[in-house]
Structure 1
Amino acid sequence: MSISPAVLVVALTLLLGLQPLSTDLYLPALPALTTTFGGTMVQAQLTLSSLLLAFGASQLIWGPISDRVGRRPILIIGLSLYTLSAIGSSFSFSMESLIAWRVLQGVAMGAAIMAARALVRDCFDDPIMAAKVMSQGLSGLGVVACVSTPIGGLLTDLFGWRIALLFLAVVGSVALGLILLKIDETLRAPKLDALRPNVLLHTWKSILANHTFWSFALLQSATYAGLFVFLATSSFVFIQILSLSSSVYGLLMFTMSASYISGTLLCRRLLLRYSVQRTVAIGGVFALVGGTLMGVLALAGIQAVWSIMLPLYIYMIGHGINQPCAQSGAMGPFPRSAGAATALSSFIMVIFSFFIGQWLGVRMDGTVMPTALGIWVSGVAVAVVAWGFVVRIPLPPKTA
């Protein structure tokens, strides 16, 4: 490995952390900016779901390009565009312009995060080791997520939503500086024909025909779906329905992220004793219990902070177990096409999230029910995939 372990973990934390920063930090500002522009609930959801759709779709292009030219150039381009789009978002003059800048931000984020995940596959051939390193990076992501919403709430309360969005440009610049100064190229054998149409189609076909890939890609989509439901609805639930301030809402998001971090730490402990498949099966228990508890409490008519957060903590522990295994597992069989594999798994994930976002945009009814039911369904889906697919499919021999 050409990158020191410490630098790799810091880089993964910053790069993977762009996702919670881009989604979580502006959540306290979402009701205010929607009111400022006279936007609708559907438009408010589009500022999140369009970013994620662009994030996933762009990776279908970034992935093969990185398999051909390397990870470092893609990181530099992506982080430069990310910084630019953050500046543009902060100076938006309408909901439509904000959505457009968020789309560009999603494209840029796709480049950075895809390359970050591929770095792990470049450096580690062993699936257990890759999952452990990925969990370290995702623990760092959890720390970033812990501070994202509180910072966003504080900046929004003190200076307004534009400064909260501008903060993302600062983070993008710091990440770009780290890549330029500390990260060398990790791709050992560029796939010179990766961008040829027939080769690209063959690569995608071979990935999509792989049962291990689908098992982990569906697990990644199912576990993220519950988190997305919460991200897309929580600011309206807590600020508008339950009448909490932006700062208090930020503190609740901090505790949610802390439960996710505990899940990633538990993931590493489980991987010391069990296989990836068995670890994922345990994560499925947390997801099912948390989602079901939230749904049952909502159906019972209980609408309170504790009835949402307590089940969510349980769900997020499962998310912290399942997400590292899913992300590394989807790339595992494809050492020479790691960029394409992570791009396809992310695209599948955000397609699910995009349609969930559209459903939430028309289903929000002034109660916690859409949030609770969405997370309940996600918990059931995680358990079905974990117990019905992942545990039954052994990791295959690594192929090009």
Structure 2
Amino acid sequence: MLLAGLAMLGPFTINTYMPSFPEMKTVFGVTDVELQLTLSLYFASFAFMSLWHGAISDSLGRRPVVMVGLVVFALASLGAAAATSIEQVYVCRVLQGLSAGAGIVIGRAVIRDLYEGAAAQRLYALVIMLFALAPAIGPLLGGWLQVHLGWRASFGFLALLGALLLGLVVGCLPETLPSAHRHPFSAKALLEGYRQVLRNVPFLLWAGTFALMFAGFFIYVLSAPVFLMRHLGLAETDFIWLFGPATAGMMAGSWLSGRVAQHWSVGRCLATGFGIMGGAALWNLSICYWAPTSPGWYLPYLFIYTLGMALVQPTITLSGLDCVPDRRGLGSSVQLFTQTGFNAVLSAIIAPFFWSSPLKLAGGAALVMVLALGGMVLAWTATRRQAIAGAVLPIGDNR
């Protein structure tokens, strides 16, 4: 439960304040692109710092890194709530990005510290299933706070959430990395660790696959105010049309992933998940070509795509970490850096390019899904070859 709560911090930070975009745009006198920069700066700083959370935790332990991150996050959220200019919001969003990733990075490493194989996949699937509630709860709560209390209330809520999680970590999170297994904290040791991880081709392919696969859904998250409020004519409190089916799909896919962990081979899991995502992409393109005006037509895509994505997410993540068994904390950092770094590019450059119509958004989502499929095939092949050569540990007994 605690690991899921730490993982939820990121989605809450992304989408809780989205229903407040129109008011913030008016209050600060900025354009859509200038307001979108609050997302881009968050993702860029999140990606940069995610490289260090895991590496530092490999040297100092898991608990200290999470606690410091939560303190900084809570203070940054208070600063955003008190901001009087868009530039102040930018600074606070950077600080939020630098700190919010500690929980999810360390959470992945904690799972691999404690569990192997199918047991690790089941626990990670459970974390994802609980984590999936955040994309639905965040904008609903943000819409309610916006209507009743205004845009500052969303950042106040994030500050309270950070403080609550800090208290739970202090009282409930054990240290899972024994001193004997820690690496020296020095520039030379860190550079050597990054050299080992960044030269591991299968690991990098798995990380890229996940980033591209996730973008097939996340392009809609980043475009939510435009897609829902401009194209579909919905209100600030109607973000459930996007995040509701997506949450249901992620929970269903995570539940299924946990159920099949001991029964399906890795190859079968990947083939099934990508087949589901491919079918969803075809549906979405077909619907958008006929340009329906009802948001109900988009529900099947959001549910089915996220179901397939959540089904394979534990397999892809753990497959990548198993390529670097001695550097799991650092490996988790690089995985998250790859995902959020791509999200920063997606937010600042790619998503706005597809804003002009629902069909363009569907085309962009389908494109990154196809690229993810290609990445998965390359990662699978490279991992098999390296495992045969004895360079990495097998991903699981049921491969």
2:267 is the alignment partner of 1:283: no
Residues 226 and 355 in structure 2, CA contact (< 8 A), matched pair in contact too: no
Deviation at 1:262, TM superposition (A): 0.7
Residues 18 and 225 in structure 2, CA contact (< 8 A), matched pair in contact too: yes
2:209 is the alignment partner of 1:225: no
What residue ranges of structure 1 are gaps of 5+ in the alignment?
1-9
Amino acid at match of 1:345: Q
Deviation at 1:140, TM superposition (A): 0.8
1:122 is matched with which residue? 113
2:61 is the alignment partner of 1:65: no
Q: Distance in 1 between matches of 2:174 and 2:374?
A: 40
**3-state SS, counterpart of residue 239 of structure 2:** helix
Residues 334 and 398 in structure 1, CA contact (< 8 A), matched pair in contact too: no
Alpha-carbon spacing, 1:39–1:167, altered in 2? closer, same or farther (3 Å): same
1:165 is matched with which residue? 155
2:39 is matched with which residue? 48
Matches within 5 A, 1:1-400: 10-124=1-115, 126-189=116-179, 193-250=183-240, 252-360=242-350, 362-363=352-353, 365-390=355-380, 393-394=383-384, 396-397=392-393
**3-state SS, counterpart of residue 248 of structure 1:** coil
Residues 216-270 of structure 1 deviation map (CA, whole Å, 9 limit, x = unaligned):
2122101221232111101221112322112122354223211111111111122
Residues 331 and 342 in structure 1, CA contact (< 8 A), matched pair in contact too: yes
The farther-off stretch of 139-148 and 186-195 is 186-195
Alpha-carbon spacing, 1:148–1:54, altered in 2? closer, same or farther (3 Å): same
**3-state SS, counterpart of residue 273 of structure 1:** coil
The farther-off stretch of 268-277 and 315-324 is 268-277
Q: Distance in 2 between matches of 1:96 and 1:364?
A: 26
Q: Distance in 2 between matches of 1:365 and 1:19?
A: 23
Residues 33 and 161 in structure 1, CA contact (< 8 A), matched pair in contact too: yes
Alpha-carbon spacing, 1:96–1:361, altered in 2? closer, same or farther (3 Å): farther
Residues 128 and 276 in structure 1, CA contact (< 8 A), matched pair in contact too: no
Amino acid at match of 1:317: L
Amino acid at match of 1:47: T
Amino acid at match of 1:255: P
Alpha-carbon spacing, 1:53–1:266, altered in 2? closer, same or farther (3 Å): same
Residues 68 and 190 in structure 1, CA contact (< 8 A), matched pair in contact too: no
**3-state SS, counterpart of residue 176 of structure 2:** coil
> How many residues of Structure 1 are paired with residues of Structure 2 in the alignment?
389
Q: Distance in 1 between matches of 2:354 and 2:382?
A: 38
Q: Distance in 2 between matches of 1:241 and 1:248?
A: 13
The farther-off stretch of 62-71 and 389-398 is 389-398
Deviation at 1:361, TM superposition (A): 5.9
Q: Distance in 2 between matches of 1:251 and 1:294?
A: 15
Alpha-carbon spacing, 1:202–1:398, altered in 2? closer, same or farther (3 Å): farther
Residues 212 and 329 in structure 1, CA contact (< 8 A), matched pair in contact too: no
Q: Distance in 1 between matches of 2:351 and 2:329?
A: 32
Pairwise CA RMSD:
2.2
Question: Normalised by the size of structure 1, how large is the TM-score?
Answer: 0.90
Q: Distance in 1 between matches of 2:394 and 2:267?
A: 17
Alpha-carbon spacing, 1:215–1:190, altered in 2? closer, same or farther (3 Å): farther
Residues 31 and 236 in structure 1, CA contact (< 8 A), matched pair in contact too: no
Question: Normalised by the size of structure 2, how large is the TM-score?
Answer: 0.91
Amino acid at match of 1:397: L
The farther-off stretch of 386-395 and 58-67 is 386-395
Alpha-carbon spacing, 1:111–1:165, altered in 2? closer, same or farther (3 Å): same
Q: Distance in 2 between matches of 1:93 and 1:309?
A: 38
What residue ranges of structure 2 are gaps of 5+ in the alignment?
none
1:6 is matched with which residue? none
Deviation at 1:66, TM superposition (A): 0.6
